[in-house]
Structure 1
Amino acid sequence: MESQGRRLYVVGRLTKSKRVDWILRAAHSAGLGLPIVIVGDGPERSSLEGLAHDLGLTVTFAGFMRNPWSMLGAEDCIISASSFEGEPLTILEALQHRLPLLVSRITAHENLLGNHSGYFGSVSELSGILEDFKKLHTFEQGIVSPRTAAKALLGRQPAEVALQWTEQYRSLLNAGGQIS
């Protein structure tokens, strides 16, 4: 990982359920001033670009990338505001990079991270965390202990999970099923 200074780093499809707008609104509300990198694409991209512009934020919309971690910096903080997840592959991959995680309080994140101090349940809660960072210059509350990370990754290597999902889809399609 290269050092590019501290940034908020978001990876995922740009859909309403990922609530990237929460991240933008919280960063603005906190007056954070940190750059935000958003890796991913989807139907909400245009409106999110407009929101970022309207809020005066420094946001890089990198679009879809085969390796979303290639732009990752050594001081970045991974953030996910998803309203729901099946198996949160982005968080599993982030755990492998040993960076702080700020994540929405949803079952899938709680199942992975247990008693994590980097949870938020609203824009105002996330804004509070970002305000703390602004004062303390650390994402300490987002740091995942090595023990928790190891436990979360046990039997859940992201490449293996992705392969399992691919096999599930192939099996369904070969059986004449449809994916909606």
Structure 2
Amino acid sequence: MRVAFVLGTTSGGTGRHVRMLTEGLVRRGHQVLVLGPRSVEEQFSYAGAGAGFVEVAVSDRPHPRNDLRAVLAISRLTRDADVVHAHGLRAGALAALGRRRGLLAVTLHNALTASGFVGFVYGALERIVARRVDRVLVVSPDLGERMTRLGARDVRAAVVPAPPLRPAKRTPQEVRDELRAGERPILLTIARLAQQKGLETLLDVAAGPWEDMAARPLFVVAGEGPRRAELERRIQGEGLPVTLAGNRDDIPDLLGAATAVFTATRWEGQPLSIREALMAGKPVIATSVGGIPEIVGDAGILVPYGDVRGLRTAVRTLLTEPGAAETLAAAASRRGREMPDGDAAVESVLRVYDREDPTG
């Protein structure tokens, strides 16, 4: 089978997911071609996984001239493909407009959050994907419901595994010493410092009040992004118990030291951070949005987005209610063991690629 992947600019989970699918398909004897910006090849090395790679400028913002060039390139480069599988809304719409033959699948990894003119354009792209694509894969039930309403004929849940979690290299106490946590519990957030991640809500939660100030949790945020300066000003101005730890390559070490993983995000599909938390046996306190409830199950406490009091109460419950942390940690370990692996994801897309598959 000849499979062509199309993707846009990405530095995270989407790029890793396509790399994992590429490795699995090549290992099974299929021919894979990846089309996307040069930056994704430099970061994820699809050629190193056995695929062909051709640079196609799929940008993350609407640009009529560049988009036309991308459509023409996709049409030309995929004319012999049995399957074209695009990842992301813009890549999916461009692939749909450039389609010649073969089955067309699109995986939607994110929800539409933009407003104004950009939101209008992205709404139009959603309708193109819904009406022109053979099979739409989604990372959360709400995305599936939206695409069905827009007219998609075959909508399925995407299987997105987490990569194996490497062993920690440092002891929890060494990490606690680095973070100057003392005896306080650590609530770890792994997130880009961006608007979608609800970090202003995290700061509201951290502000308390906490009855026992000596034992109030330390919120540690691992990640970088455009909102760092704004967050730092508030943390310092209000003396909040929050540490912005920057981009880290020692996430397993941080997880080992954490009491729980905390996220106040506005929306997520199948976040790697929560899957890593479960594989590390850590409870989760999170907003009940997107695909998070499906992943967490009984391994955490879920609260509506923006409910500061509810999130703070969840933290208190986890830290002070007898047996709560231990019960949730045991559930997290169980769910972590149940997470799908790379082979499950590859077998899932092979079923998607089968035109005779009746499960859609």
Residues 114 and 61 of structure 1, relative CA distance in 2, 3 Å threshold? same
Question: If you compute each CA radius of gyration, which structure gives the higher value, 1 or 2?
Answer: 2
Distance in 1, Cα, partners of 2:319 & 2:334: 28
TM-score between both structures, scaled by the size of structure 1: 0.74
5 Å-filtered alignment, 1:44-83, equals 44-83=227-266
- Residue of structure 2 equivalent to 1:173: none
- Distance of 2:206 and 2:281 partners within structure 1: 22
Q: 1:40 aligns with which of 211, 214, 223?
A: 223
Which of the pair has the greater relative contact order for Cα pairs under 8 Å at 6+ separation? Answer: 1
Partner residue, 1:168: none
Deviation at 1:111, TM superposition (A): 1.5
Amino acid in the other structure paired with 2:200 = D
Confirm or deny that 1:132 pairs with 2:300: no
1:149 to 326, 331, 336: 336
> In percent, how many aligned pairs have the same letter?
23
* Among candidates 256, 262, 275, match of residue 92 of structure 1: 275
Q: Are the counterparts in 2 of residues 27 and 130 from structure 1 also a CA contact under 8 Å?
A: no
Equivalent residue for 1:108, pick from 291, 305, 308: 291
2: CA distance, partners of 1:42 / 1:139: 33
RMSD: 2.8
Distance in 2, matches of 1:150 and 1:73, equals 17
Structure 1 residue runs of 5 or longer lacking an equivalent are: 165-180
Please, which moves more after superposition, 14-23 or 129-138? 129-138
Change in 2 beyond 3 A, CA 1:155/1:30:
farther
Deviation at 1:72, TM superposition (A): 3.6
1:27 aligns with 2:27: no
Offset from partner CA, 1:122-179 (integer Å, 9 cap, x none): 112101122335644776275361333333x12369xx98xx9xxxxxxxxxxxxxxx
Is there any run of 5+ residues in structure 2 with no aligned partner, and where?
1-170, 177-182, 347-360
Aligned to 1:124, what secondary structure does the other structure show? helix
What amino acid does structure 2 have at the position aligned with 1:130? Answer: V
Deviation by residue 1:47-89 (Cα, 9 ceiling, x = unmatched): 1112222332232211112333333443521111111113211
TM (normalized to structure 2)? 0.39
